[in-house]
Chain A
């Protein structure tokens, strides 16, 4: 059974700092997704990572995937207050239904 673990679950940091959120998963998978959720809002797709070594960047966020280590990272560079949100990773189950198993989320608070 595929399990997805994120850490940390909660992170409070100052603007301008760098930090990394980790997403570990328990069995082989070929697709990993990162989403952002603002309080009371829906889930917004950030990145789709499809292969080992994949790296994608958007603004101050960069995501990478290491399928051999079953690990994805979401790196935040020079954080700004607007990036405060909960970040989820989701891993494809690998079956023909293309379902996702979700991490518990990392609540990120960036203080001005």
Chain B
């Protein structure tokens, strides 16, 4: 089966600019996650979707980050305006049946550098 697809792979922007990331989960996976992974740390959950609804966005900095999952398939994560501390890898993951007993499957991530 095709894996989780993410684009772009790399992005370099200046602070205060905006950026958007795209994710296409594994076909049939109802649950989609966006994580932020700072160098040397484990992933930190930003937002979790179940189909096209938000399950948890408690750790999403809503003053600058937004995410949507229209039609319950693809998802986009946006940062506007970006800050230096947003430099990280943004990982998208998906799982079936709300992740019960199944691992989350990850995309290759988008490496974001803020200048």
A-side residues, CB < 8 A to B, are: 4, 31, 33, 35, 40-45, 48, 50, 88, 90, 96-100, 102-105
Contact = CB atoms under 8 A, between A and B. Distances in A.
A50 B101 contact: yes
For A33, A41, A42, A102, the residue with the greatest tally of chain B CB atoms inside 10 Å of its CB is A42
Contact of A42 (B41, B48, B91): B91
B98 A97 contact: yes
B55 A42 contact: no
Contacts of A35: 103
Interface stretch (B63-71, B80-88, B106-114): B106-114
A96 B99 CA distance: 10
Interface residues of B, number: 27
A85 B82 CA distance: 30
A19 B108 CA distance: 28
B5 to A, nearest CB: 11
Contacts, number: 54
B91 A97 contact: no
B100 interface: yes
Given A48-B101, A97-B98, A42 B108 contact: yes
Contacts of B99: 98-99
Q: Which 7 A-B pairs have the closest CB atoms?
A: A102-B42, A45-B103, A98-B99, A43-B106, A42-B106, A42-B108, A102-B43
Nearest to A95: B56
B40 A48 contact: no
B45 interface: yes
Interface string B11-46: 000000000000000000001000000001111110
Contact of B48 (A33, A48, A97): A97
